[in-house]
Amino acid sequence: RSQRRHARNVLQEFQEACSTPLPRLRQVVDAMAVEMHAGLVSEGGSRLKMLPTFVDRLPHGDEKGLYYAVDLGGTNFRVLRVQLGGKQGRVIKQEYEEVAIPPELMIGSSEELFDFIAKELSSFVAREGDGFRPVAGQSREIGFTFSFPVQQTALNSGTLLNWTKGFKVVDAIGQDVVAALQTCIRKRGHEMRIAALVNDTVGTLAGGRYWNEDVMIAVILGTGTNAAYVERAQAISKCGNVLPKSGQMVINMEWGNFWSSHLPRTQADEALDNETMNPGEQGFEKMISGMYLGDVVRRVLLKMAQEAALFGPNVPRKMLEAFSLGTPDMSKMHADESSDLKVVGNVLRDVYGIENTSLAVRKIVYEVCDTVAERGARLAAAGIVGILKKIGRDGTHSKWKVASEQNHVNGWEEVGSPVASECGKTVVAMDGGLYERYSKFRAYMQAAVVELLGDASKDVVVELSKDGSGIGAALLAASVSQNG
Ligand code: ADP
Ligand code: MG
């Protein structure tokens, strides 16, 4: 049928616009490394904020005692407690609870949002049972994971720069989020202290390093996307000479806002961007992360419905609705291995009320999912390789050069001298529902890392560090309250 042919043409055009052949991917890698450098040299030097985190020491296993964490991500809110037993005992006991963030709080007032967090924390603390003992003479300390761009002034203070991921609590912008939460906790009569404010990427890095000292980079692929890594203090020129003693500092890249003319942007991406809470921002995130992938697919399907009547003479009404196709639905269709693409048909029926799709139509829908996932995964891989390149671990630096660069660093505690050629592996700690639950996305990403690194890929490991962001914040709270 000519309509199907038309839909196929739309598909082909979209695939071409999304394509990420190796040379193009390499340009994205290079752009990432260049932008990282620019963002470290001067404030506003790049769309990458490259935020200093004041984390100049990561947990290494000897932390002891009871610590709490609260984790405000994009979709879920989590509270947890952990009893740490030092090098031998490690994580003796751990408990957590998770609740969905009520949507009205995402666009309400600052006080409502922080009071919600304090309330959840308060009821969680009230249920502290056997096996959890605070450090004698110390109040319960909290690591606060807050996964939005914050300009920190110390490890336990920082002002919110802007919201992402559909949040819009206007009066919180410019506020010190630690002070705001601390006030709400005190109001509820708790003597708890927020010891560390950490981005989820930084929490994941800390959680990963606690178990594996080769962890240098953390990446989140969840509702949003972001990355953090260990940088040489001297490379952070915008900080002047307030360099940490350890010689290194974790940088929160806020890579969701990365942009480069080499990114394969389509009309669907432009239209999506216009309908978000933050148009013109988080361009990389909008091509990669869980909040947006399903909607890119929806927009392409909508175009096919409108221009080629792919789903019959009428455009399914609900398909006009932004975000009506979630990334979990997309990944469900994409995971369909049946010869008649039954699952694709079921999702189209359940989400859009489209009955009796032909196999040919389902194949087109499947292809759209595949195209969007592959592009996102390959771009995420290019981002990771960009970081590896920036820190000299992408295999292109000669060994002596890596060694001499690293020799400037003295005393990133107990890690020893992390000369790439000697320590061998570089580990990327990964967290987030998208990476964890979308297996084809994961496979595409891993394949692209190998494609980009070639031989050097044998020294790079991407490791799922599930829920690392919350426990990492607790570990950082422990680490600072015990060591400094
Ligand atoms: P957050 O990023 O809010 O901290 P998570 O890391 O748990 O939360 O990630 C949740 C996101 O992961 C969801 O918004 C969704 O986009 C994505 N996701 C969840 N389940 C799946 C799935 N089965 N397939 C693909 N993506 C998923
Ligand atoms: Mg999270």
Per-residue pLDDT of the chain (484 residues; tens, 9 = 90+): 788 899 999 999 999 999 999 999 999 999 999 999 999 999 999 999 999 999 999 998 999 999 999 999 888 899 999 999 999 999 999 999 999 999 999 999 999 999 999 999 999 999 999 999 987 888 899 999 999 999 999 999 999 999 999 999 999 999 999 999 999 999 999 999 999 999 999 999 999 999 999 999 999 999 999 999 999 999 999 988 677 889 999 999 999 999 999 999 999 999 999 999 999 999 999 999 999 999 999 999 999 999 999 999 999 999 999 999 999 999 999 999 999 999 999 999 999 999 999 999 999 999 999 999 999 999 999 999 999 999 999 998 755 444 444 433 333 333 333 444 455 899 999 999 999 999 999 999 999 999 999 999 999 999 999 778 889 999 999 999 877 5
For residue 200, how far is its CA from the centre of ligand 2 (angstroms)?
A: 6
Atom of ligand 1 nearest to the CA of 469: 4
| CA 322, chain centre distance (Å) | 23
Tell me, what's the pLDDT at 484? 57
For residue 203, how far is its CA from the centre of ligand 2 (angstroms)?
A: 10
Give ipTM to 2 decimals: 0.99
Tell me, what's the pLDDT at 398? 57
Atom of ligand 1 nearest to the CA of 76: 3
Tell me, what's the pLDDT at 240? 81
Residues 229, 252: Cα–Cα separation, whole Å = 7
Q: Where are the beta strands (DSSP E) in 178-324?
A: 192-198, 215-221, 225-232, 248-252
Tell me, what's the pLDDT at 419? 43
Is the CB of residue 61 below 6 angstroms from any atom belonging to ligand 1? no
Tell me, what's the pLDDT at 414? 31
Q: Out of 226, 292, 327, 332, give the residue to mutate to test ligand 1, the one with the largest number of ligand atoms within 8 Å of its CB.
A: 327
> Token pair of 128, please?
């502290």
Kind of pairing between the strands at 426-431 and 225-232:
unpaired
Tell me, what's the pLDDT at 204? 97
Sign of dihedral through CA atoms 427, 433, 437, 438?
Answer: negative
Atom of ligand 1 nearest to the CA of 293: 16
Atom 13 of ligand 1, nearest CA residue: 223
> Token pair of 71, please?
């984790």
Tell me, what's the pLDDT at 469? 85
Strand partners, 71: 78, 145
For residue 361, how far is its CA from the centre of ligand 2 (angstroms)?
A: 35
Residue among 53, 161, 64, 168 at smallest CA distance from 109: 168
Atom 6 of ligand 1, nearest CA residue: 432
Contacts for 339 with CB less than 8 Å, ≥ 6 apart: none
Atom 19 of ligand 1, nearest CA residue: 433
**Domains of the chain: which residue ranges?**
53-211+467-476
Is the CB of residue 433 below 6 angstroms from any atom belonging to ligand 1? yes
Atom 12 of ligand 1, nearest CA residue: 433
CATH number of 53-211+467-476: 3.30.420.40
Residue pair 361/367 in contact by the 8 Å Cβ criterion: no
Q: How many CB atoms lie within 10 A of CB 358?
A: 11
For residue 472, how far is its CA from the centre of ligand 2 (angstroms)?
A: 12
Is the CB of residue 164 below 6 angstroms from any atom belonging to ligand 1? no
